[in-house]
A and B are shown apart, each in its own frame.
Chain A
Amino acid sequence: MPHNLDITALVIFVALFLLVTVIGFLAGRWRSGDLDTLHEWGLGGRQFGTWVTWFLVGGDIYTAYTFIAVPALVFGAGAIGFFAVPYTIIVFPILFLVFPRLWAVAKKHNYITPADFARGRYGSGGLALAIALTGILATMPYIALQLVGIQTVIAAMGIGGVSALARDIPLIIAFVILAVYTYQSGLRAPALIAVVKDFLIYVTVIVAIIYIPIQLGGFGNIFDAAAKALPQNDPPGALLPQGAAGFSAYATLALGSAMALFLYPHALTGVFSASSGNAIRRNASLLSAYSLALGFIALLGYMAIAAGIKPETPNFAVPDLFIKFFPSWFEGIAFAAIAIGALVPAAIMSIAAANLFTRNIYKEYLRPNISDREESQVAKITSLVVKLGALFFVLFLPTQYAIQLQLLGGVWILQTLPTIVIGLYTRWFHRWALIAGWAVGMITGTAMAASQGFSSIFPLSIGGFSFSAYASLYALIANLIVAVILTLVFAAMGDAGGEDETSQADYVDEEEAEQAATEEVAH
């Protein structure tokens, strides 16, 4: 549908945008520390308690692109898009069990990035480089997709319908603002802005999930309309996953995405910046509030079907639904929620990528004797470069490339699981075996996705039996097989690998250790 310029919506949108800009600039003074150290700029001083961590990690996971893409997938394909719900449920037991260990060892050895951990655990700069490159590569298209989210709501408000340049200017302004306050305030800026973002998003979701179904005659009507319309799509969609291939695709997408989520550098930044292991454990239950919101947002895709929305592209399904049902002023609030929902993760992602470059590439290979001040300076400048790269990506390349790269990013980042997650429990693997496994996983996963025209589901046939699953899991299996075999080979050759600077006790945070000590006394 055509988008007309809506002044009321625009005024509210701009006002809210200015509000978060001011917050972004003032954030540097909040719980102030020396922003000339990377620890303060890039991790907020590792002092965020349960609530700030909740906002920060929530801002990481539920991004503008999620709010646009998940309902768009549900709108076009139906049930498969709902995999985001089991995905964001099973991710929390994983967060609870695994990541307090990473937090503890990172705190003890002042690790700022996952690659720092790889370097310390395996004494290998090469392995750290592989982890850092994977992280940067997986993060860049993700930032680009946040810009696509902003672009979508700007276009939905009818700005710059006439020329491409007029359409891009608001996006460029938004990004310059984002870049400057991230440079100045570091991780504190997205942490504070996330509070405003969440407030706006929860208000929008609650209103939408109550008001729109009433207008459409209840959920029964909405699902009936979707069940009728979905099979007419090309390719046909369905209200329920269909057959063995549909089931396995659904389950492996959920599992693979959940295993990958906390390997992303931006999600790990949220973990590292927490003040304690218990702040992370508490969040494993509290973060499910976002999953509920995400489930409701996914259902907006069906509401758009039932409301007879005919968007230019599926990405406009939710914006067009809001335009149809909401008054202009509330439309402004809803669109601001989505756009600000892009700024928070984009800032955290660029900080995470900057930390990786500075610690594991610049300091490791270019300037080993770098001072704290210089280190944080390099990171600040890198965060600008990373964002500029994403901006150019969105302005000059078809969006399709960013989507395909983001999909590959999910496949790639999972290949760091053996080093990071298994490495938290055992040092059994040899560093060169991990590097070889990583390379095999990266190549296998990329080839599988590319062979399917950048679809993430790969139908693997063995002996006439075909099993459709998320390519990242197949790649991870190949990765692990290579890593296990080569580790055995190195062990047979009597090569134990590099120095491990961590010890068992480093993986247990103080609360956990205290509790264990009390139990020991009691027995």
Chain B
Amino acid sequence: MENRPSNGAGNGGERRIWSWWYLLLLLPFLGLLYPPLYAFEEPRLIGVPFFYWYQLAWLFITATLTTIVFRATR
């Protein structure tokens, strides 16, 4: 830490920490923010309409994606 330039004007501070893995975190937005994609009653899962279980499934997918991104970028 000490021997690194600490000021934003310096070249060291300008370094952006970006990883392509972060793109995975866009998927939940794509999967959830366009309801016509999933506003259906069928197929049901143990009696639960598609609309409801699809969104709950995204919960597990998103938790997995954030874990993957966390591991990959650590």
Chain A residues near B (Cβ < 8 Å): 79, 82, 85-86, 89-90, 92-93, 96-97, 218-223, 239-241, 246-247, 250-251, 254-255, 278, 281-282, 284-286, 288, 291-292, 295, 299, 502-505, 508, 510-513, 515-517
Contacts and interface: CB of A to CB of B under 8 A. Distances in A.
B58 A89 contact: yes
A241 B49 contact: no
Contact of A291 (B5, B33, B41, B59): B59
Interface residues of B, number: 47
A505 B70 contact: no
Contacts of A288: 59-60, 62-63
Contact of B73 (A246, A503, A508, A515): A515
- CB-CB nearest 4 A-B residue pairs: A220-B47, A219-B47, A504-B8, A503-B8
Nearest to B44: A220
B74 A505 contact: no
Interface in B11-65: 12-15, 17, 22, 25-26, 28-29, 32-36, 39-41, 44, 46-49, 51-52, 55-56, 58-60, 62-65
A98 B16 CA distance: 14
B13 A247 contact: no
Contact of A241 (B15, B39, B44, B63): B39
Contact of B70 (A85, A284, A291, A502): A284
Given A240-B51, A292-B56, A513-B1, A97 B17 contact: no
B47 A221 contact: yes
B33 A255 contact: yes
A70 to B, nearest CB: 14
Contacts of A512: 17
B7 A96 contact: no
Contacts of A239: 41, 49, 51
A96 B74 CA distance: 12
Given A223-B47, A241-B39, A288-B62, A251 B33 contact: yes
Nearest to B4: A505
Contact of B56 (A222, A295, A504, A515): A295
B13 A89 contact: no
Contacts of A292: 56, 59
Contacts of B29: 90, 93, 255
A90 B56 CA distance: 12
Contact of B32 (A90, A281, A505): A90
- Summarize A's interface: helix, strand, loop or mixed: helix
B69 A96 contact: yes
9 contacts: A85-B55, A92-B63, A93-B26, A219-B47, A220-B46, A241-B39, A246-B35, A251-B33, A504-B15
A86 B13 contact: no
Nearest to B48: A219
B25 A97 contact: yes
Given A503-B8, A512-B17, A219 B46 contact: yes
Given A96-B66, A97-B25, A223 B48 contact: yes
Contacts of A221: 47
Contacts of B52: 82, 223, 295, 299
A2 B29 CA distance: 44
A256 to B, nearest CB: 11
Contacts of A513: 1, 4
Contacts of A515: 73-74
A3 B49 CA distance: 34
Nearest to A278: B74
Contact of A86 (B9, B32, B44): B32
A79 B51 contact: yes
A475 B61 CA distance: 32
A251 B34 contact: yes
Contact of B66 (A82, A93, A240, A508): A93
B55 A82 contact: yes
Contacts of A247: 34-36, 39
A222 B47 contact: yes
Nearest to B12: A505
A223 B45 CA distance: 12
A511 B67 contact: no
A516 B59 contact: no
A367 B5 CA distance: 36
Nearest to A514: B1
B60 to A, nearest CB: 8
Contacts of B66: 92-93, 96, 281, 284-285
Contacts of A246: 35
A515 B35 CA distance: 39
Contacts of A92: 62-63, 66
A503 B6 CA distance: 7
Contacts of B63: 92, 285-286, 288
B56 to A, nearest CB: 5
A285 B67 contact: yes
A512 B35 CA distance: 36
A97 B66 CA distance: 10
Nearest to A500: B8
